[in-house]
Chain A
Amino acid sequence: MLRTASRSAFKRTLASHAKPQLTELSNGLKVATNTNDQAGSACVGVVFGSGSTAENPYNNGVSSVLANFFKAEGAQPAAKAGVQLSTNVSRDSQSFLASYAGAAGLNKTLDLLQSQIAGALGSASDSAFTGALQKSIKQAEQFELNNHAGRALEHLHSTAFQNTPLALPVRGTVEALQELEKVDIQSFAQSHFRNSNAAIVGSGNVSHEELVKAVESQLSLQSGEKPELKKKSSFLGSEVRLRDDTLPKAWICIAAEGESVTSPNYYVAQVAAEVFGSFNASEPASQIQGVKLLDEIQDYHLCDSYDHFSLSYKDSGLWGFAAEISNTHQIDDLTHFTLKQWNRLSISVTEQEVARAKSLLKLKLGSSAVDNVSIANSLGTKTLALGSSPDLTEVFGKIDAISVKDVRSWASSRLWDQDIAISGTGQIESLLDYMRLRNDMSMMRW
């Protein structure tokens, strides 16, 4: 029904996919590229394998300060040269990237990167650091004030991984940021911005050989041992409630422990999350998705939107969902129906549901790798976490190989009757207590 006759003939004309290339330099620095010579621009940059997990409660937020420093200090020379800077801070990594087209050229762009990183390592003025610090504080305050969904998700991490590195918020806390000084920022940069902890990445119209050559002659980072975390992150079933009845809605997150980036079940967990996917009550096409959970949610308008996620980090991960709810008196129904559907992953998830999830996951991964900046960013983080970044064709192959049985056995060991972490903010009076929710993670009979 879905397959047209012309489809097989048509497959042959598809342009082939370029594979990522990787070279390790003698100083331990990795250079990875994902070339696309049809692109009109390129993106190069440095990705470091330490983000907020490398921080501690007293310097929490220093990565975000460094990101702001990079963007603010580099802004003027970059704009003049026709280079666009972007940064990304996550729990396990931070990246400093520069996009350029024609005029700027690779060498000029790398020079710019090098001078910014040298600045972060200590050569920059005090006022530059203060400016970046002020910006980070402002961002953290705005986040606390306005981004309730984001806040719920950060607190989900803080309770699930309490007292371990993954608990720290990516943006840092306002309290910790206010106490930061220039020397804290520098010493963090000096101990983490090392060859052994970095990957140089390139995507778009940049050749691997050229980048390797240019990096060898132009870019130098600190030498030294690769920084290792002293503590491993571990999951603890728990809950945190930030009830605030003055807010107009409720935002909640519930998650069980997920898979780490290196786990063999990394993609199985992603497929399982995609079985429920995302829902947005105000979008007509979203209302008619093939998700059984939606029948119950829509009959009683249980939430405005939800998003199922499988977040993976070096040591651990989170598998669960986040929801935005205006029908705040029926949160108990929402969580009950949702968790009962999670039960189905272990016992009765269907072939069709898994096939749907696999296709949508492929679409998600494929369409997130369109612009050069996100390609470069994921190339860097994957290279650092896994040793090398898998090609999308390989990834699609792995996803295709996942069967209903794989999803069921993954769910039976990771979701069925497992502990959960809960967080919520806004009008969460009807969010049930931990034990009631925990009981929904399994069924007595079915």
Chain B
Amino acid sequence: MPQTFTSIAKMGDFILKTPALSKIVVPVAHQFVKFSGYRKMGLRFDDLISEENDIAQKALSRLPEEESYARNFRMIRAHQSSLTHHLLPKTQWIKPEEDTPYILPFLLEAEAEAKEKAELDNLELVKS
């Protein structure tokens, strides 16, 4: 089954709720974030999510104006860093507390809508 944001979010919630799992997974996740290094280029995790699909496009179109502006700014800044083969000065790195999921709620809503539409498009009638 292809992964959806809904299923990922559900799995994440499950891991966080289960102490045994979260004890292992959370540190690993932190290490992953550290090594992937996107924060050092001034990006937030949600900036990395692929946007070339209908769901993400819909979510992007619904972002509040300031969020959308800030996202574009971060991306341009990161491109510039990449182009010049420099990391940002340490003061501009994204701090862990700033790296919050800002587009995920919109993705989940768009996904739920698409799922509902697919369901209603393919209703089975039950004779009563």
Judged by CB atoms under 8 Å, the answer to whether A and B touch is yes
Name A's B-contacting residues (CB within 8 A). Answer: 3, 290, 292, 351-352, 355
Q: Closest 3 CB pairs between A and B?
A: A352-B123, A351-B125, A352-B125
**Nearest CB in chain B to that of A3: its residue:** B128
- Cα distance A3–B128 when bound, in Å? 9
Determine whether B83 belongs to the interface, using a CB cutoff of 8 Å to chain A: no
Give the residues in chain B near A355, CB-CB below 8 Å: 125
Determine whether B121 belongs to the interface, using a CB cutoff of 8 Å to chain A: yes
Interface code B102-128, partner A: CB below 8 Å = 1, 0 otherwise?
Answer: 000000000000000000110111001
Knowing that A351-B124, A351-B125, A352-B125 touch, tell me 7 more A-B residue pairs with CB under 8 angstroms: A3-B128, A290-B120, A290-B121, A292-B121, A352-B123, A352-B124, A355-B125
CB under 8 Å from chain A, chain B span 70-96 = none
**Minimal beta-carbon separation of B54 from chain A (angstroms):** 10
- Cα distance A352–B121 when bound, in Å? 9
Name B's A-contacting residues (CB within 8 A). Answer: 120-121, 123-125, 128
**Minimal beta-carbon separation of B114 from chain A (angstroms):** 12
**Nearest CB in chain B to that of A351: its residue:** B125
Secondary structure dominating the interface of A: helix
**Minimal beta-carbon separation of A355 from chain B (angstroms):** 6
- In the assembled complex, 10 residue pairs joining A and B whose CB atoms fall closer than 8 Å, in A order, are A3-B128, A290-B120, A290-B121, A292-B121, A351-B124, A351-B125, A352-B123, A352-B124, A352-B125, A355-B125
Give the residues in chain B near A351, CB-CB below 8 Å: 124-125
- Cα distance A140–B18 when bound, in Å? 78
**Minimal beta-carbon separation of B86 from chain A (angstroms):** 42
- Cα distance A411–B119 when bound, in Å? 27
**Nearest CB in chain A to that of B120: its residue:** A290
Give the residues in chain A near B128, CB-CB below 8 Å: 3
- Cα distance A292–B121 when bound, in Å? 8
Give the residues in chain A near B124, CB-CB below 8 Å: 351-352
Give the residues in chain B near A292, CB-CB below 8 Å: 121
**Minimal beta-carbon separation of A334 from chain B (angstroms):** 21
- Cα distance A184–B123 when bound, in Å? 59
**Nearest CB in chain B to that of A291: its residue:** B121
- Cα distance A299–B121 when bound, in Å? 16
- Cα distance A3–B124 when bound, in Å? 15
**Minimal beta-carbon separation of B43 from chain A (angstroms):** 32
- Cα distance A397–B28 when bound, in Å? 66
**Minimal beta-carbon separation of A393 from chain B (angstroms):** 21
Interface-central residue, A3, A290, A292, by most chain B CB under 10 Å:
A290
- Cα distance A352–B127 when bound, in Å? 11
- Cα distance A351–B120 when bound, in Å? 13
Give the residues in chain A near B125, CB-CB below 8 Å: 351-352, 355
**Minimal beta-carbon separation of B53 from chain A (angstroms):** 14
- Cα distance A292–B128 when bound, in Å? 25
**Minimal beta-carbon separation of A294 from chain B (angstroms):** 11
Give the residues in chain A near B121, CB-CB below 8 Å: 290, 292
**Minimal beta-carbon separation of B20 from chain A (angstroms):** 39
Give the residues in chain B near A352, CB-CB below 8 Å: 123-125
**Minimal beta-carbon separation of B119 from chain A (angstroms):** 11
**Minimal beta-carbon separation of B80 from chain A (angstroms):** 35
Give the residues in chain B near A3, CB-CB below 8 Å: 128
**Minimal beta-carbon separation of A77 from chain B (angstroms):** 56
Give the residues in chain A near B120, CB-CB below 8 Å: 290
**Nearest CB in chain B to that of A354: its residue:** B125
- Cα distance A3–B125 when bound, in Å? 13
Give the residues in chain B near A290, CB-CB below 8 Å: 120-121
- Cα distance A351–B126 when bound, in Å? 10
**Minimal beta-carbon separation of B123 from chain A (angstroms):** 5
Interface-central residue, A3, A292, A352, A355, by most chain B CB under 10 Å:
A352
**Minimal beta-carbon separation of A406 from chain B (angstroms):** 16
- Cα distance A355–B128 when bound, in Å? 13
- Cα distance A292–B123 when bound, in Å? 13
- Cα distance A73–B20 when bound, in Å? 92
**Nearest CB in chain B to that of A299: its residue:** B54
**Minimal beta-carbon separation of B117 from chain A (angstroms):** 8
- Cα distance A342–B117 when bound, in Å? 22
**Minimal beta-carbon separation of A299 from chain B (angstroms):** 10
**Minimal beta-carbon separation of B55 from chain A (angstroms):** 15
**Minimal beta-carbon separation of A402 from chain B (angstroms):** 14
- Cα distance A292–B122 when bound, in Å? 10
- Cα distance A355–B124 when bound, in Å? 11
Interface-central residue, B120, B121, B124, by most chain A CB under 10 Å:
B121
**Minimal beta-carbon separation of A169 from chain B (angstroms):** 41
- Cα distance A340–B61 when bound, in Å? 32
**Nearest CB in chain B to that of A2: its residue:** B128
- Cα distance A355–B123 when bound, in Å? 11
**Nearest CB in chain B to that of A355: its residue:** B125
- Cα distance A355–B120 when bound, in Å? 14
- Cα distance A166–B120 when bound, in Å? 41
- Cα distance A352–B124 when bound, in Å? 7
**Minimal beta-carbon separation of A112 from chain B (angstroms):** 52
Interface-central residue, B120, B125, B128, by most chain A CB under 10 Å:
B125
Give the residues in chain A near B123, CB-CB below 8 Å: 352
- Cα distance A210–B125 when bound, in Å? 48
